[in-house]
A and B are shown apart, each in its own frame.
Chain A
């Protein structure tokens, strides 16, 4: 197993774990159901969810702006 293959697999695993972590937090299951507290008109649970979603956007943008993969990749 080449070191570049290992690195790529580790990289993909890391990305998947981060996305799963964000997915768990972006769905506000952990917030009390009857909480109607607000901040500037937004319910707090909605702000928490939007905050995690914004982090997801930042993470996605960072991944997109990483150096392009090799142009000689094979199909599959």
Chain B
């Protein structure tokens, strides 16, 4: 996915900055309250909030975590470039919930009875292989670090767009200040604080999207006039059904983002933190409708931008939303106030996704790497303390990288192969939890084969790889096909061999 940008907004006044400051201070206050509410100095309390999330908190934390800065800017920008064919973003957001449902409820029950903290705890318990657990940890840490880096860079862009000529310095300050606030509340209160901030961030995001839609309809008129305008501009391909090549991409996105997104470690840890399976089920039931009031609105905004702000090219298309907001902002004081609210929603989307990724990376590094390979006898208190330090180091390094790579958008594009990697864990999680016949060896070899195939196709010099895809399908899916086949056939072959073994 492309790195998103925010730009073209008029500089905000004192009142707006006061509002942003109050919002950011409320996050710090929740971090402090989260610390006060802790029950013990343990990994379970810090990383899973003592497994005490009810339906309301669980739903809003899942919602705020799933919909990131990319949903706001990336989807709007892609809809500007491609038109209605980018409705696929609504589909793949639902696919994430559909694939999570396949394993989440059973995993929550297991996590509660067996005290899982990180996603890899389940793999250790199920497959009893340190090698498989370590590879899985590395895959998840790499995928999430990339995701966190993208969110930090978008935070910088968000402030850069407001600063006018001083944009470059504002980018650096944006990355550092927002990352600092995030790491403070995240390390003060752990997942409890992060989920509480998600309640605020999810609510702001939810209201912000609705307000955005109303505002755009009020400003530009009904959608039918926008699509007529696009048709008159001879952009009919942006209104017509996707061609057969694009339809293959639809199928690919549904499976790649659906399966990969369902295996995000921060989602798995939210599954662990549910107080009851019933609450988790209710949260998922509501989440199944969220693509219609979030991703679909982002697509519609992109269509409005295409109709009324034509001429944006390349990376500038990611500024489609901010260009729309600028028009609204200039019209009235009310419009200005609403843009302030929407900008807060943008910050909410960015920070709520980034803080969850930060906590997951630190938990996996400390528990699955440090606690297994470096200090196996470390106490829970020691691991919790080190986990907090790890969050500071991870965010510090990635903030530095975000500043150094400010102009290197192509490099970020290359790094952005997280879903191709994450889908390789699907056999272990989604199949392993239901089929007791799935064996460790075939799963491990399948995982390694899948990663090799996905990365080779993605980065190799092959002429048949067009725009990062082979015949419209992402490399990760080819890897997954081999991975899954090997895991199933290998397990069956082993079972058959054992049945015929006279010993």
Contact = CB atoms under 8 A, between A and B. Distances in A.
B110 A41 contact: no
Contacts of A33: 240-241, 243
A40 B223 contact: yes
Interface in B416-443: 432-436, 438
Contacts of A36: 231, 236, 239-240
A50 B87 contact: yes
A40 B226 CA distance: 10
Contact of B110 (A29, A49, A65, A73): A73
Contacts of A57: 94, 288-289, 291-292
Contacts of B432: 76
A66 B32 CA distance: 38
Interface in B47-106: 84, 87, 90-91, 94, 97-98, 101, 105-106
A69 B278 CA distance: 10
Contacts of A65: 281-282, 285
- Per DSSP, chain B at the interface is helix
Contacts of A42: 84, 223, 227
Interface string B100-125: 01000110011001100000001001
Contacts of A50: 87, 90, 292, 296
B251 interface: yes
A6 interface: no
B317 interface: no
A25 B113 CA distance: 40
A29 B241 CA distance: 8
Nearest to A41: B223
Given A19-B98, A61-B289, A71 B240 contact: no
A7 interface: no
B240 A43 contact: yes
A2 interface: no
Interface residues of A, number: 40
Q: Specify which of A41, A42, A49 lies most central, judged by the most chain B CB atoms within 10 Å of its CB.
A: A41
Given A68-B105, A71-B109, A76-B435, A61 B285 contact: yes
B271 to A, nearest CB: 13
Given A75-B126, A76-B435, A43 B241 contact: yes
Contact of A60 (B94, B225, B433): B94
Interface in A47-76: 49-50, 53-54, 56-58, 60-66, 68-69, 71, 73-76
Interface size class of B (residues with CB under 8 A): 35 or more
Contact of A56 (B84, B94, B109, B225): B94
Interface in A1-57: 19, 23, 26-29, 31-36, 38, 40-43, 45-46, 49-50, 53-54, 56-57
B87 A49 contact: yes
A71 B224 CA distance: 51
A68 B281 contact: yes
B101 A63 contact: yes
Contacts of B278: 68
A54 B288 CA distance: 9
B305 interface: no
Contact of B222 (A40, A60, A68, A69): A40
Given A56-B98, A61-B288, A68-B281, A34 B240 contact: yes
A64 B241 contact: no
A76 B438 contact: yes
Given A53-B91, A69-B105, A31 B241 contact: yes
Contacts of A43: 84, 227, 239-241
Nearest to B104: A64
Nearest to B222: A41
Interface in B343-374: none
B281 A71 contact: no
Contact of B250 (A27, A58, A68): A27
B113 to A, nearest CB: 8
B240 A64 contact: no
B285 A64 contact: yes
B254 interface: yes
Contacts of B125: 75
B277 interface: yes
Contacts of B250: 27
Which 5 residue pairs are nearest across A and B when measured between Cβ atoms?
A41-B223, A41-B224, A76-B436, A61-B285, A64-B285
Given A29-B247, A71-B277, 17 more contacts: A27-B250, A40-B222, A42-B84, A43-B84, A49-B91, A53-B291, A61-B285, A61-B286, A63-B101, A64-B282, A64-B284, A65-B281, A65-B282, A65-B285, A66-B281, A68-B281, A73-B106
Interface of B: 84, 87, 90-91, 94, 97-98, 101, 105-106, 109-110, 113-114, 122, 125-126, 222-227, 231, 236, 239-244, 247, 250-251, 254, 277-278, 281-282, 284-286, 288-289, 291-292, 296, 303, 432-436, 438
26 contacts: A23-B254, A26-B91, A33-B241, A33-B243, A36-B236, A41-B224, A41-B225, A41-B226, A43-B239, A45-B240, A50-B87, A54-B292, A56-B94, A57-B289, A58-B288, A60-B101, A61-B289, A64-B101, A64-B285, A68-B277, A68-B278, A69-B106, A69-B277, A71-B113, A74-B436, A76-B432
